[in-house]
Amino acid sequence: MTILVIAEHDNKVVAPATLNTVAAAAKIGGDIHVLVAGLGAGAVAEAAAKIAGVAKVLVADNAAYAHQLPENVAPLIAELGKGYSHILAAATSNGKNILPRVAAALDVDQISEIISVESADTFKRPIYAGNAIATVQSNASVKVITVRATGFDPVAAEGGSASVETVAAAHDAGTSSFVGEELAKSDRPELTAAKIVVSGGRGMQNGDNFKHLYALADKLGAAVGASRAAVDAGFVPNDMQVGQTGKIVAPQLYIAVGISGAIQHLAGMKDSKVIVAINKDEEAPIFQVADYGLVADLFEAIPELEKLV
Amino acid sequence: MKVLVAVKRVVDFNVKVRVKADNSDVDLANVKMAMNPFCEIAVEEAVRLKEQGIATEVVVVSIGSSAAQEQLRTALALGADRAILVESAEDLTSLAVAKLLKAVVDKEQPQLVILGKQSIDSDNNQTGQMLAALSGYGQGTFASKVAISGDSVAVTREIDGGAQTVALKLPAIVTTDLRLNVPRYASLPNIMKAKKKPLEVLTPSALGVSCACTVHTLKVEAPAARSAGIKVKSVAELVEKLKNEAKVI
């Protein structure tokens, strides 16, 4: 068995989710190859070659792959993937965008967001916003899978010495083009990789009040997240949303502030090791999953908490 | 131009589902069903394109049991012109659904196909991408803005670090994210009118699609329950517990 892992990157650095995906591949067992498709991604290929457990890195460097447009990248992966037993990618917005297109090109079903590997063909994945866990088995010739990063501890980024091989194949479907992007800038740790996450909800009342959470987060070295209510109300940008349709996090500590705890929000954070809820409504559903609950006005509790930690 | 919208009948998003005692599946007997929330956003976007004079006809399609006619009638009440049900009693995978939709696309020749980004039951997030692959069209997934100009569509997409805009040649596939629009409610007169709009029923065999699948569900279990927590009385007590008991700060 040989497994192809699609590297998640921005042409400059390897995203941490790639390490979790390699960890899932290692659980399946077999040789692990990593594909770096991009433009001018030499540094990414070098970093990928150092990932523990990786046997070979394939580099497809072409202008058509610069922004990982699925119309161009998916045919490349499908062509290379025919010789592999498994094709894995992280369940990031890129992985979710590209991999189903690969699966359809190979005429196989895809398995989304696995959280555990039972055997080489059997996997567990959450359904119904995480309210049920399905065990699924695939008899596809090539198993195409996206991996939920929080389900697997990352492998070491250093220690490997894989060979690097260039792939010449160029696919340019000509049906799509990149126009532009606006990326949110933040000095705080990345939400999905942070050890501590502080999240605010509707109870924050406005965007300005999030400064209290930022202050607390900076003291804890934490990332800041939000519920859908806070995003929809325009308090914070939508890439901060934690939940079924936003980011899935599983930090050591998750502090939910002014968040009621709707099913869709819990889907994104209930695998956190320790959950703290601060809410003035003692009936809020969030208290049912919280390890430590504090019924208090957040505008008094958060500054006090910031002082004490 | 013609716009095709795919809608799915799913359990209502407010229902907390329970797993069956025999671990075969979740229990959907006597549970409220509704149109998948992302599909509502897809229907709304298509109807808005029609109101702007860009779309000339909005066709909705659903694949599933005959009960899905209810969701198609809802879409008709929201402004779609006609509906197609591909009736299948089987539990279909995303790939099978994408193949059936491809057959409908071949038949209807729409310029734009709009789907939700994922259904809240299987949480797969695959069908739109698979349909795009099968039809060879460009895909604009997780769309928060759709702007059509001439023979192309600019789609602003929600990505992990922010937003990205791509331009796609028409025909194209778009999947909706939460913030694309706020769906309207169907008015009573429109619900009555929707009963008279055409609804065609097809079968997978009539479309020449076989639904063999390569993935099977072995069992469905409830997630591990979290042990009950405690309520602390003060911030000081909370900090003390986090430092000394949980040891996370």
Tens-digit pLDDT profile for residues A227-266:
999 999 999 999 999 999 999 999 999 999 999 999 999 9
- How confident is residue B249, by pLDDT bands cut at 50, 70 and 90? confident
Lowest mean pLDDT among A208-222, A252-266, B24-38, B203-217: B203-217
End-to-end CA distance of chain A: 49
Give the whole-number percent of chain B exceeding pLDDT 70: 100
Dist CA A113 CA A115 (whole Å): 6
- Average pLDDT (B191-219) is 94
Whether omega before B204 lies within 30 degrees of 0, making that bond cis, reads no
- Surface of A (80-119) touching B: CB under 8 A: 92-94, 96-105, 107-113
DSSP structural state of residue B239: H
- How confident is residue B142, by pLDDT bands cut at 50, 70 and 90? very high
Number of other CB atoms surrounding residue B233 within 10 Å: 10
Token duo for residue A42: 């030499």
A70 — contact with chain B (CB < 8 Å)? yes
- Give residue A244's pLDDT: 94
- How confident is residue B26, by pLDDT bands cut at 50, 70 and 90? very high
Backbone angles phi, psi at B103, to 5 degrees: -65, -40
> Which of A87, A196, A245, A275 is the mutation pick for testing B, counting most B CBs within 10 A?
A245
- Give residue B69's pLDDT: 98
Cβ–Cβ below 8 Å for B230 and A237: no
Cβ–Cβ below 8 Å for B246 and A292: yes
Contact A85, A108 (CB under 8 A): no
Average confidence score pLDDT of chain B: 96
- Average pLDDT (B141-163) is 96
DSSP structural state of residue B24: S
Option in A92, A128, A274 nearest B17 (CB): A128
Query: Which chain A residues contact residue B125 at CB under 8 A?
Result: 96, 100, 112
> Which parts of chain A sit beneath pLDDT 50?
none
- Give residue A186's pLDDT: 85
- How confident is residue B235, by pLDDT bands cut at 50, 70 and 90? very high
The question of ipTM being above 0.85 is answered as yes
Provide the whole-model pTM: 0.96
A196 — contact with chain B (CB < 8 Å)? yes
Dist CA B10 CA A265 (whole Å): 19
